[in-house]
Amino acid sequence: MPLTKSWVETANDPTGVFPLNNLPYGVFNDGRGARAGVAIGDKVLDLGALEGLGMVPSVGFRNGALNDFMAEGAGAWTRVRNTLTGLLSEGADAQHQLGSFLHSQAVVTMQLPFTVAEYTDFYAGKHHATNVGTMFRGAENALPPNWLHIPIGYNGRASSVVVSGRDVRRPWGQLKGPDDPAPRFAPSARFDIELEMGAVVGQPSSGPISVDQADANIFGYVLLNDWSARDIQAWEYQPLGPFQAKATSTSISPWVVTKAALEPFRTSTPAREIELLPHLRDTGPMLYAIGLEVTLTPDGGAEEIISRTNYREMYYSAAQQPAHHTTSGCPMRVGDLLGSGTISGPERDNRGSLLELSWGGKEPFKLSNGETRSFIEDGDRLTLRGAANGDGYQIGFGECTARVLPALKNPYGVS
Ligand code: CA
């Protein structure tokens, strides 16, 4: 599918990530209240204003979150996308009416695009699970026995999800290394990122759903950084899994890229090493080819790429996750966020966490300013970017970025 040209000139720039083919939704505020917008080139089009004028369907764009729009269902998702494509296409009459509803993305503040109903994080990348398992349990026992049969996950906290741009503070926690005689309470010294994609559930379900129904219920995707305190995790994680190690923050990109925009980039999961039970089997290509990168910007230093990988490296698709998640009868809600699990690739420079890049801190990696890193240092900015590459255009997510602030001097405020 070629580029669909827009009268918004910057949308036709092949180095940009918001062409007319994309149309990702977000929530912005220019000082006059939060409302939904759609990214086009370097601009955001005010959907709240257009809804007020009856130029787009009335689906709750003035509500400050995308949940009501998502709840309207796939028919409304298509109608709005078609309307916007018409309004923004090269030569459209609407060009003369819409100028005052286009704002520069550089001057608006992006907010969380939807109210996160619930947040579940999976562990569905085989390269990551193998790397981490090898570090902790040895190569022979790297993958847990269930791993090739179900996409394993844990229930996270919706309250911890923040939008890109919000600083993240290094957490305190209870730590105990294997050689420590007793646990102590201290700031995490092994604070880390996890490069992930998040699937956004746009339709509710109340019982077990098939892989196809799960795919149909997904509204779109965001970039997701699952901030992780490895030293807190090492002490707390058995037997019930991660808890405080993952509860500091989860950052997501401000733009939700729709399934419709990603449709040309569908690709299959890798060959199954063990056939899945029928209720989890792939029914078609349900992953996407999306190039991903992680950059690190040291305090006062230059940004540099520390990892490059691709979403197609996942072993399980996002659709297989709710298919498993709902087998128990677990209801899914509009606004549920499903983290993919860390997306690492086969090579060293494809690793999606510092834990893997530094091999548990044993092999610190060098930055171009001469510093080395095993884990995040105070003042570091970590940024995720992602885009699918079309024929002369890109379908991108923008950035998912945050700077890490030093731990509080005293977390309880008592001197
Ligand atoms: Ca994770």
Which structural domain range is residue 217 located in? 119-405
Would you state the pLDDT for residue 413? Answer: 81
CA separation, residue 208 to residues 93, 123, 151, 192, 217 (Å)? 47, 21, 15, 34, 13
* pLDDT for the residue numbered 415: 56
Number of domains the chain is built from: 2
**End of a domain among 80, 111, 142?**
111
Distance CA 101, CA 94 (A): 11
The whole-number pLDDT of residue 1 equals: 86
Ligand 1 centroid to Cα of residue 94, in Å, is: 43
Instruction: Please indicate, yes or no, whether residues 171 and 91 belong to a single structural domain of this protein.
Output: no
State the average pLDDT over residues 331-357.
98
pLDDT tens for residues 89-110?
999 999 999 999 999 999 999 9
Residues 216 and 175 in one domain: yes
Residue 241 has pLDDT above 80, yes or no: yes
Looking at the fold, whether 105 and 49 belong to one and the same domain comes out as yes
- What gap in Å lies between CA 305 and CA 293, rounded to an integer? 7
Do 302 and 213 meet the contact criterion of CB atoms below 8 Å apart?
Answer: no
CA 67 to ligand 1 centroid distance, Å: 24
d(C-alpha 388, C-alpha 386), whole Å: 7
Give, as residue ranges, everything with CB less than 5 Å from ion ligand 1. Answer: 121, 194, 226
Residue 411 inside a domain? The answer is no
The sign of the CA dihedral 202, 205, 208, 212 is: negative
| Percentage of the chain lying above the pLDDT 90 cut | 98
CA distance 118 to 156: 8
Task: Specify whether the CB–CB gap between 119 and 337 falls below 8 A.
Answer: yes
414 pLDDT more than 80:
no
Residue 249 Cα to ligand 1 midpoint, Å, equals 11
Tell how far CA 249 is from the center of its chain: 13
pLDDT digits (tens, 9 = 90+) for 138-178: 999 999 999 999 999 999 999 999 999 999 999 999 999 98
Distance CA 138, CA 134 (A): 4
Mean pLDDT of the chain: 97
Predicted local confidence at residue 42, as pLDDT: 98
> 96, 103, 128, 149: which is the annotated catalytic residue?
128
Residue 412, in any domain of the structure: no
Quote the ligand 1 centre to 338 CA distance (angstroms): 10
User: Do 25 and 126 have their domain in common?
Assistant: no
> Is 103 an active-site residue?
no
- Three-class secondary structure of residue 72 per DSSP: coil
353 CA → ligand 1 middle, Å? 10
User: What pLDDT does residue 190 have?
Assistant: 98
Q: What is the pLDDT of residues 371-381, one digit of tens each?
A: 999 999 999 99
Give the end of a domain, one of 74, 93, 111: 111
Q: Which two tokens stand for residue 84?
A: 């916007």
Distance 315 CA to ligand 1 centre (A): 14
What's the average model confidence in pLDDT over 220-226?
99
Distance CA 342, CA 237 (A): 17
The string of pLDDT tens digits covering residues 382-410 is 999 999 999 999 999 999 999 999 999 99
Q: What number is the average pLDDT over the span 32-48?
A: 98
Contacts 24+ apart (CB under 8 A), 93-96: 94/55, 95/7
Based on the domain organization, do 62 and 183 belong to the same domain? Answer: no
Same domain, yes or no: 239 and 368? yes
* Domain identity same for 99 and 235: no
19 Cα: distance to centroid of ligand 1 (angstroms): 30
